[in-house]
Amino acid sequence: MNGDSRSFGRPGGRSGGGAGAKAGAGGKDGGGKRYFFRRRKVCKFCADKIDYVDYKDIKLISQFVPERGKILPRRMFGTCAEHQRKLTEAVNRARHIALLPYAAD
């Protein structure tokens, strides 16, 4: 039974170790527009000067809540914390009165 069933260490023979897969890149990204412009991204609500996220404004909030009803992470839109919070509140409120679906899980 408990003999030497320990030969389960390495499955393959060719395990390089993982490091060194991408060697040779002699610089930053070698060509390619890899620009992340998240710093410049302004919260939509701030940009539109929306102080209060109206939960009845389905058109507005549904932009942030796809059909599944999951609120998108604010990273995706650059919504500021304050407005994200208001948005969440509005979404919850909208759900409450069945303007929006709950997450369909």
H/E element holding 19?
A: none
Q: Is 58 in the site for Zn ion (CB under 5 A)?
A: no
Q: How far is the CB of 76 from Zn ion (least distance, A)?
A: 14
- Nearest Cα to 65, choosing from 90, 96, 38? 90
Q: Is 46 in the site for Zn ion (CB under 5 A)?
A: yes
* Region from 2-10, 24-32, 38-46, 68-76 binding Zn ion, contact rule CB under 5 A: 38-46
- State both tokens at 57: 């404004």
Q: Is 80 in the site for Zn ion (CB under 5 A)?
A: yes
58: Cα separation from own chain's centroid: 22
Residue numbers of the site for Zn ion (CB under 5 A)?
A: 43, 45-46, 80, 83
